[in-house]
Amino acid sequence: HVKHRLQKCHFYPAALGGSNNPDNLFLMCKTCHSDSPDTQYPKQFFRFVRNRHLEGNIYVRAYKEAREVCRNKLDEFMNTFDSLEDMWDLMFDDINTHGFNYSQSSISSWLIEKCEEMDNDI
Structure confidence at residue 46 (pLDDT) = 92
- Cβ atoms of residues 24 and 10 within 8 Å: yes
Structure confidence at residue 24 (pLDDT) = 94
Structure confidence at residue 20 (pLDDT) = 94
What confidence tens digit (pLDDT) does each residue in 11-62 have? 888 888 999 999 999 998 888 888 888 888 889 899 989 988 888 888 888 8
121 pLDDT above the threshold of 80: no
d(CA 121, CA 113) in angstroms, rounded, equals 12
- The separation between the first and the last C-alpha atoms of the chain, rounded to the nearest angstrom, is 37
Q: Quickly state the pLDDT bin for 102 (edges 50, 70, 90).
A: confident
d(CA 77, CA 80) in angstroms, rounded, equals 6
pTM of the entire predicted model: 0.66
Instruction: Give exposure, 109-120, as e/b (b: 16+ Cβ within 10 Å).
Output: bbbbebbeeeee
Query: Dihedral sign, CA of 81, 102, 92, 110?
Result: positive
